[in-house]
Chains A and B, each alone.
Chain A
Amino acid sequence: MPVLSLDFFGMIIAALLTIMVLSYIIADNLLFRIAVYIFIGVASGYAGAIAWHNVIRPALIDPILQGGFSTLFNSEAIGTFLIPLLLSILLLMKLSRTTARLGTISVAILVGVGAAVIVGGAITGTLIPQSVATTNALTPEVAFPAEGENVASWLERLISAVVVVVATITTLLYFRFSAQKERSGETRRSRFNAVVAYIGRTFIAVTFGVMYAGALMATVLVLAQRFEFLRSVLLMLAGGG
């Protein structure tokens, strides 16, 4: 007889919910919707609790509990407490249509920081490192065989480096937007661009193929583990545990 603990009942509920969600494969049905609405309710409640305890309370409530209401007038805390408190209250104004306009300053700050993170992250995190990495693909060590190295491994290394460079450049050129406008109004790439774009598109298909295969492996493993879980619950119920 299995130990009747909270986890035991939890496992049964989890198994039921798993079957209810799997039923969507056959058709959209009542069971799937009930499971999804329970899931969204729990996920929302949990996210709210974590955001309160990990961010809002430490930033806006604890300073008042610890320093008392004098914190409100403490000049040092203007930047770390007063302004964020005011901005947060203004953002909450967005909840109602009439006061929505008051919260625009908070939204402007969020949008400004978001845009800066995009621009800064893209330039310093991807554009420059990835471009420099591509130029480093064909260093002399790679381009010329080391002493005593057999030709096959050198050739493999050289071809790989060339392929990486060609793949990067042709893929980048595939995305080129400007094109020639024909008399008929059709827009078409020039012949050279069309060839380069075709090679680039092939490399894109290869990249997507690899990632698609990886995602298939990951999700098939997750599906296998779900059935594994159902099997363990059945065994547990059968007492075989």
Chain B
Amino acid sequence: MKLGSYLIWAAVAAVSGLFVLLGYFIPVNLIPVAFQLRLLIMQWAVLLAAVGLFVGLANIFLVHWTKVGEQSEGWPYSAILLIFFLITLMVGLVFGPDSETVRLLFNYVQLPVEATLSGILAISLALAGFRILSYRRDFISVVFVGTAFFVLIGSGPGLIPNDGPGYEFFAGLRNWIAQVAAAGGARGILIGVALGSVVTGLRVLLAIDRPYGDG
């Protein structure tokens, strides 16, 4: 690990992070220069994130272009991907992402496929609910599936119709479970996750973890 280069990157990350971090605690107009610099650094980060997206897209293009070039396994699929990628990108760059062609491609290719994948998730979740008790036989899993069952019963149309007897009790039970027990549990999980996030972020700012590599 070259000590020299690693220190530079650590310093760059720490300084840019510090400006953004202090902005959360010190009001904007207390130190105008610091606020302006923080705004600048955040705009650079936003721009670099978009440029990063382009590097990622180039990454995808290279992976599939090599597959087609080497005619390796599954290269016809990669050819299909490259064709649609280049058509959509060219049309989007030339006529803009809000042009009619791009709208048609989005509405009739991207949206239906994503929605259907989300629909497939319904089957995966139902299947997981059926199998969880045979995989993990513990009280916690019983509580998990039982809670889901009662919330579903009390939420909408189902085994107990909305105007059926006892629907009000189950709706009330559902509200209590969701708005009290689950809310308390969720808050505990949120605080726990926040603890982990703070320490993980601090390790990066203090250069203990160096995701940018050692240069």
Contact = CB atoms under 8 A, between A and B. Distances in A.
Chain A–chain B contact at Cβ < 8 A: yes
Interface of A: 6-7, 10-11, 13-15, 17-18, 21-22, 24-25, 33-56, 59-60, 79-80, 83-84, 87-88, 91-92, 94-95, 101, 104-124, 126-127, 130-131, 133-134, 160, 163-172, 174-175, 200-217, 219-220, 222-223, 225-226, 229
Contacts of A200: 188
Contact of B87 (A13, A17, A45, A50): A45
B109 A112 contact: no
Contact of B107 (A10, A40, A169, A201): A10
Given A52-B92, A167-B181, A206-B147, 17 more contacts: A14-B111, A35-B113, A42-B84, A44-B57, A44-B85, A46-B97, A79-B40, A104-B9, A104-B212, A109-B41, A111-B212, A112-B20, A119-B201, A126-B190, A167-B185, A207-B185, A226-B112
A56 B48 CA distance: 9
Nearest to B109: A42
A41 B114 contact: no
Interface string B7-28: 0111011111111110111000
A213 B154 CA distance: 11
B212 A202 contact: no
Contacts, number: 402
Interface of B: 5, 8-10, 12-21, 23-25, 40-55, 57-60, 74, 77-78, 80-93, 96-97, 102, 104-123, 125-126, 129, 139-141, 143-149, 151-152, 155-156, 176-178, 180-195, 197-198, 200-202, 204-205, 211-213, 215
